[in-house]
Amino acid sequence: MIRSFHLFLMLLACFFCHAEDGYRLWLRYDKIGNTQILKQYQTHLHSFTFIGSSATLIAAKKELTTGLSGMLGKAVVEKQLAGSSIVIGKINEPAIKAAFSNKVPVNLGSEGFAIYTTDTKTVVITANTDVAILYGVFHFLRLLQTLQSIQQLTITSVPKIQNRILNHWDNLNRHVERGYAGISIWNWHTLPDYIDQRYIDYARANASVGINGTVLTNVNANALVLTKDYLLKVKALADVFRPYGIKVYLTARFSAPIELGGLKTADPLDAGVKEWWKKKADEIYALIPDFGGFLVKANSEGQPGPQNYGRNHADGANMLADAVAPHNGIVMWRAFVYSNETPEDRFKQAYNEFKPLDGKFRKNVLVQVKNGPIDFQPREPFSPLFGAMPQTPLMMEFQITQEYLGQATNLVYEAPMFKEVLDADTWQKGKGSSIAKVVDGSLHNYSITGIAGVANIGNDRNWTGHPFGQANWYSFGRLAWDYDLTSTQIADEWIKQTFTGSKKFVDTARKIMLSSHQTLVNYMTPLGLHHIMGTGHHYGPAPWIINAGRADWNPVYYHRADSIGIGFDRTIKGSNALAQYAPEVRKSFEDITTCPEDYLLWFHHVPWNYKMRSGRNLWDELCYRYYSGVDSIRAVQQQWNGLKGLVDDERFTQVQMLLNVQVKEAIWWRNSCLLYFQTFSKMPIHSQYEKPDQTLEYYKGLKFPFAPGN
């Protein structure tokens, strides 16, 4: 009997414990381990009052009660206003006004919130709208998770960018293009009747960092998603997401009027085509009144578009914009275009196509521009389109999924990369014309603004494959809300919420994260090398590829190594791509002595014996960067091993194994690239470095027909 009772207690304990498999992301809400801070929180946070009962406020109340009871280790009761330690409601509520003593904050807009501690030590969370209150609740819970003082809170927070959107490259068959965390989380087969808990937790996670939109389908679009059966499935997801302030968007296949409507053309100036899209938009909005609009990839990599009919991008975008405009919808038209038939440097093609169209787009069109001019490389100079289209809202497109960043086997914290781009100065209206000010609309007074991140989410239990991949989803949302946050701030928040507040763990994990991007650049594409990955799957190095079917898919197109040197000359003596930047930016890049060495081979064909700022010649500097990258990730291995016991065994072991993989892949990158480039430089790899353990022919012979995300 006693033995059975003990077994029962063990099973009961397991029922209430959480597997540390990463599913809970940064919303773990475990009991606070710091006893001093826990006691302070328990003393001050004993009850709450919610004013209002909308679906969004119900979601906010559930989050608050779950979070508080978990972190405080006891129930926090809901009660009437008098004596509550937390009061939550909209600004115009009399009780809120009274609590603020007529100091109600202004200019919060529709999404901003305020959190104040009153003279009576009551915490007040308020905003103009229900969804903004939800954001405020998540922020307050973040304060507790990161062990912040709540004694004298005076917080106001307003998002800097209006549309903060995830782009899912998910296909209807659940394959995720460039996805490394399993298949799509959208189970179209069981929708609309079966609502997976994962959909709700996805919405919670996004709302917690202020993401307010999601594009459900791949930019390489399938018209079937616009049929009635699929729209009912989309509606089911929209209904789940709505209480969390998240709008759904779809990718529109430009040829849908032909494929679905039986029309003979998709010409955007054809009256019948315009009418088809208008009726389709009406059908969607009848089902989903807050549908966000369309994302479009057109006339790029084989996708149909207006150029098929002799029209331009503005013609195509405007036709769709007119269809959704009566419903307050938007169109996000991607600027990722390049043509193999165009002899122009691929770097220049998006600018060449879109710059002449500035001012010709409808008011509800945003042109979505990748952060760099080529394709999400480990490090890219900013796209010259930013700042060059003052009459057309430009939205940023970052790639959260690590297509070119080691995929889900490499630990790479992307916030420093995002910040590097957002902080870059376009000089389009003088010094201080940052990319961030272009995107938030302040530089050119855009009426609508947006930022997109290509999602790294799949149905893996931990959502992102690599446990640290969660940090990139998190950091995208936080920077989309407030790009002034630092990479360090965001890393600290994420570590404490996702793992532990242990100082040793936080300090070590932060150090690993902040150096991880530069480490990867060093062992993959140092000094401005770019697009030298394996073709198709983009897994691993293949700088020797020369037969990919079109010139601009071949790595040799980009590195241009020869007996003289290496790098793509984009000065006036080469492709003159630098002419697309403002004069101050061009001047900095075009002079080889002032060009930042991180971008050197983006803009210059540099002799192998060119003397670098370190005093080494280019070849020796290239060797140094590749070897230091490997040394750095080996050091990360040792740093992580020193954290054993400070975090759960499950995730510790998972990261440990992935770091083993990353070290092997870093060595693979280093050896194969240096052996290949050595065939041009004819210079030795100095004896101080370990010798490559395989031949160049071995590395050339590696094949990966089933690499994920292809």
User: 114-124 b/e with 16+ CB inside 10 Å = b?
Assistant: bbbbeeeebbb
Is residue 541 packed enough to be buried (19+ CB in 10 Å), middle (13-18) or exposed (0-12)? buried
Amino acid (1-letter code) at residue 321: A
Longest pairwise C-alpha distance within the chain: 88
Which helix (H) or strand (E) element contains residue 78?
strand 77-78
pLDDT at position 18, please?
58
pLDDT at position 103, please?
65
Comparing CA positions, the residue from 698, 615, 628 lying closest to residue 666 is 628
The rounded distance, in Å, linking the Cα atoms of 600 and 604 is 6
- Among candidate residues 353, 403, 569, 665, the one labeled active-site is 403
Predicted structure pTM score: 0.96
What stretches of 123-212 adopt beta strand conformation (E)? 123-127, 154-157, 163-167
Which residues, other chains included, contact 546 with Cβ-Cβ below 8 Å and sequence gap of 6+?
A: 554, 556
User: Phi-psi region for residue 598, left (φ > 0), alpha (ψ -120 to 50) or beta?
Assistant: alpha
Q: What is the token pair recorded at 609? A: 């014996």
The rounded distance, in Å, linking the Cα atoms of 351 and 137 is 42
- Among candidate residues 20, 375, 552, 569, the one labeled active-site is 375
Q: How confident is the model over 688-702, as pLDDT tens digits?
A: 999 999 999 999 999
Flag residues of the chain having pLDDT under 50: 1-17
Do 150 and 123 form a contact (C-beta atoms < 8 A)? yes
Torsion of CA 85, 90, 91, 92, to 10 degrees: -120
Helix residue ranges, H only, 402-525: 415-422, 435-439, 470-481, 487-498, 503-524
pLDDT at position 119, please?
84
Comparing CA positions, the residue from 661, 109, 700, 186 lying closest to residue 457 is 186
| CA angle (449 as vertex; 444, 452 as ends), nearest 5 | 130
The reply to whether 301 belongs to the active site is yes
Amino acid (1-letter code) at residue 561: A
Q: What is the token pair recorded at 82? A: 């008098």
- Among candidate residues 196, 259, 275, 301, the one labeled active-site is 301
Do 398 and 476 form a contact (C-beta atoms < 8 A)? yes
pLDDT at position 205, please?
98
pLDDT at position 82, please?
79
How many CB atoms within 10 Å of residue 593?
5
Q: How confident is the model over 662-684, as pLDDT tens digits?
A: 999 999 999 999 999 999 999 99
Residue with tokens 């057109």, as numbered in its chain: 298
Which helix (H) or strand (E) element contains residue 136?
helix 130-145
Comparing CA positions, the residue from 194, 332, 309, 325 lying closest to residue 263 is 309
Is residue 14 packed enough to be buried (19+ CB in 10 Å), middle (13-18) or exposed (0-12)? exposed
Give strand pairing partners of 213.
Answer: 165, 247
Q: What is the token pair recorded at 34? A: 């710091």
For the chain, domains (ranges, CATH) are 21-157 (3.30.379.10), 163-321+338-361+371-485 (3.20.20.80), 522-568+605-700 (3.90.1330.10)
Helix residue ranges, H only, 593-648: 600-603, 618-641
DSSP 581: S
The reply to whether 403 belongs to the active site is yes
Q: What is the token pair recorded at 197? A: 């808990």
pLDDT at position 518, please?
98
pLDDT at position 13, please?
40
